[in-house]
Amino acid sequence: MRKPPGPKMSKLVGNVEAYEKDRLGFTLAAAQEYGDIWAFSDQVYVVTTPDLAHEVLSATYTTYGPVRNFFHRKIKGNPTLQSEWDQSRAARMRGMRPSAMGNRIPHMAKIVDEVLDTWPASGRLDAVPQFRRLASTLGAYVCYGPHDEGVMRSAEEDLFWALLPVVGSPIDLPEWLPTRNMRRRKQAAQALEQRILGIISRRRAEGRTEGDDLLAMMMDPAARHGELGDGMLADALMATMLAAQGAPAPAMSWVFQLLAAHPEVQEQVRDEARLLEDVVDAESLKRLSFTERVVKEALRLYPPNWLIARQVLKPAQLVGYDVKPGMKVMIPVWSIQRDSRSFSDPEAFRPDRWIDPSPTERRAFMPFGGGPMLCMGTIWSMMEMTLMTALVARRWQVDVVKGAPWSMDPMRELTPNGLVLDLKAHTTVGKV
């Protein structure tokens, strides 16, 4: 079988060793050296252009399938569950459409402020865990509404930490293996599932089946999705809660790492935050166009999902190269979004490149993936990240603590591990 070019590899482990030493550097260098498609090993090809990436992403569920997703694994091979999962996607999308998210902004702003009240007026802040707490608190509200959010606040964190060693493992271990990590993951998933099922049965018992939160919308059958079983509701909500903090926490940390490195941009974000009314709503959020561009540019330079993986489901061709079941195709969002063929001065942090982006730039920007598995939280994330950025920047001057080492960790979501922020309260700008 004709194979694309690629770095010289060991017969036994392919390029694993070189890749593990520096995942990001290796991926970027290979894209620059070998072009549109390159072979990581006999079984793994990497596509490096936006066109090829979209070709693969848009054929998800037909030619290519998702890889190593805790929830998809549960569903894989069970057509009944798969069709229910598709219905649950339609139900969730209904609950996350722009108007539904827009209605939640005033309460989300209130939650952000409550959490920010617990941050130091001046001093150090561990960026990733604190943004994770903020994002997961907002996630609990979106999923369960003001009535039940308290029951769920931070409940998914146990599952997140329990999943980490399993998902981050380079070896795809079978589910039934009685390892400590597998047991821990199972227990955490069961505990979270029980809490969710408890809320569902309480709502049914109280006849509380209507509301604006995601669960209520999923419990209320609509034209595009029928009745969902309790087990599927719980699975879909667990997936949503995990996703709601998985990527936004590192993404927000990158935003403030970049704002600390570019004080003039931070100043502009703060000036724009003055446009927010006392009651922050969807209308006032729309005024923060510069802040939204900052968020977009941070997602371009540091996409949390920096590498999207697919397994080949049926034989196909990619620019003349055969791929067949058993193989994987990788999409390195990281190098695609730093390619000088798509972006001028690609390494530079330039939020204003998003004022009037070219079709090429639009197509090469894919932090939320694409095709049928496009991130369901795209609207949610853009709104919440713009909101959080403005509300933090209007309270504090944010720097990175000098001399505190942090590192770029690509093991799971691309994360600035150990990033410590130095907060200084503004004297001129008060809180909400």
For 341, 343, 364, 378, the CA distances from 359, given in Å and listed in that order, are: 12, 11, 9, 19
Minimum distance, C-beta of residue 333 to ligand HEM, in the bound complex (Å): 7
Alpha-carbon span 165 to 352, nearest angstrom: 38
Alpha-carbon span 334 to 22, nearest angstrom: 13
Q: Which residues pair with 123 in a beta bridge?
A: 423
Handedness of CA 120, 121, 127, 132 (dihedral sign): positive
Residue 56's contacts (CB-CB under 8 Å, 6 or more residues apart) are 47, 63, 64, 310, 318, 329, 331
Alpha-carbon span 136 to 154, nearest angstrom: 6
Q: Which of 89, 110, 184, 350 binds ligand HEM (CB under 6 A)?
A: 89
Residue 50 is a binding residue for ligand HEM (CB under 6 A): no
Between 18 and 56, whose beta carbon lies closer to ligand HEM?
A: 56
Residue 336 is a binding residue for ligand HEM (CB under 6 A): no
Minimum distance, C-beta of residue 248 to ligand HEM, in the bound complex (Å): 5
Residue 390 is a binding residue for ligand HEM (CB under 6 A): no
Between 37 and 96, whose beta carbon lies closer to ligand HEM?
A: 96
Select the span of 196-204, 238-246, 260-268, 346-354 touching ligand HEM (CB under 6 A).
238-246
Q: Which of 44, 234, 244, 391 binds ligand HEM (CB under 6 A)?
A: 244
Residue 65 is a binding residue for ligand HEM (CB under 6 A): no
> What is the DSSP pairing of strand 420-425 with strand 396-400?
antiparallel
Residues 297-326 touching ligand HEM, rule: CB under 6 A, are 304-305, 308
Between 18 and 217, whose beta carbon lies closer to ligand HEM?
A: 217
Minimum distance, C-beta of residue 1 to ligand HEM, in the bound complex (Å): 26
Between 217 and 244, whose beta carbon lies closer to ligand HEM?
A: 244
- In the block, residue with structure tokens 């057509």: 79
Residue 112 is a binding residue for ligand HEM (CB under 6 A): no
Considering only CA atoms, which of 189, 175, 177 is closest in space to residue 68?
175
Structure-token pair, residue 165: 């060693």
Residue 14 is a binding residue for ligand HEM (CB under 6 A): no
Q: Which of 65, 95, 248, 351 binds ligand HEM (CB under 6 A)?
A: 248
Alpha-carbon span 143 to 57, nearest angstrom: 27
Residues that bind ligand HEM in the complex, under the rule CB under 6 A:
66, 89, 239-240, 243-244, 247-248, 251, 304-305, 308, 367-369, 373, 375-377, 380-381
